[in-house]
Amino acid sequence: MDLDFWWLLVIPVAFALGWMASRYDLKTLLSENANLPRSYFRGLNFLLNEQHDKAIDAFIEVAKLDPETIELHFALGNLFRRRGETDRAIRVHQNLLGRADLPVAERDHALFELGQDFLKAGLLDRAEETFRSLEAGEYALGAQRALLTIYEIEKDWPKSIATAERIEKMGAPSLAREIAHFHCELAQEALQRKSPDDARAELNIALAANPDNVRATILTGDVDAASGDLVAAIACWKRVEAQNAAYLPLVAEKLMNAYVKLDRAAEGVDLLTGYVNRYPSNDLLDVAFKHVEELRGLDAAHALARTQMQTSPNLAGMLRLLEAQEAGAEEPRRSELQLMRTLVKQRTKNLPRYTCQTCGFRARLFYWQCPGCSGWETYAPRRIEPIVAA
């Protein structure tokens, strides 16, 4: 009986305490909101409605009434930067840094935002100097990533490598793919200087960092070919199939040229037609079609194009098929086929060849690093075009 009595007493007491606590929180919230200017809430409303210009005007009014509001200055600076008004964003963050009473954490935050302002404005030297001052603390990792972006823009590959390795040591996900490409860039510079030994050393490091890096394999074959060792070059380029067969179009012409120089053209054609059959690709078909026609005649090239159209119908394959049929046709059919080929060629002329899978940037050339988003290996090495309906 006593236990039941205490339970009956505890329930209303708990309810009363909860009611009093909620009243206190509500009173505190109302008191805090009463101290905020109406412009603050107008600014928030404009932000929610994506009206950045009006939001900025409202927040500037609040900042004039309460210049000590640190977070509001950060919000203003970010809004200015998003609008491209980097000079105003820089002034906001520099004013924050000029305050003697700014806490260390907020100072680091202001430095990081100022570095972003400089980077957006293209002031790379000032951005680098700002980010390098953030060696420790909450914004250290973000600063190192920003530095990596700067060094990639400047194509300073040794600094890019050192920064990427530093980022990994800070606990970030592996940057082995990026590091391998940095070494590939150094290898290409060495090739331009006609220093094959330096190029090979960089490529060995690239493959050690990322054994699946197709670019390093292709460049190693290029070094072998430049040194006159075509057999080694062929063996190297053929390894692309095991690494990633999608990149075979990048070595198809290289392989065929090497086989021709070795007087083994038939072997090269067999290799390419095998690739085309196993990995249907417009780019592979283009290379194989040309060399099959040269070595084995138009009928063999026609058969190859027809087989590919049955396997993977597309406009580029249709163009090759029409080309083969036109060459072997007589008038008036030849004129009709020529007209059809001309129309298809005009349709495919302006089609984008490559599309970044990250940002959608389109280009007619293949890039290992996207010019749009700066991502590495974001382009699939194949042409993107409409598929012909069956």
Q: Which residues are annotated as a binding site for Fe cation?
A: 356, 359, 370, 373
Buried b or exposed e, range 289-320, using 16+ CB within 10 angstroms: bebbbebeeeebbbebbebbbeeeebbbbbbb
Feature table: binding site: 356, 359, 370, 373
The answer to whether 47 and 27 are in contact (CB under 8 A) is no
* 12 class by beta-carbon count within 10 Å (0-12 exposed, 13-18 middle, 19+ buried): exposed
CB atoms within 10 A of CB 14: 10
Contacts of 218 (CB under 8 A, 6+ apart): 236, 237, 240, 247, 250, 251, 254
CB atoms within 10 A of CB 373: 13
DSSP secondary structure string for all residues of 316-334: HHHHHHHHHHHHH--TTHH
Q: Tokens at residue 74, please? A: 């950060």
**DSSP secondary structure letter of residue 356:** B
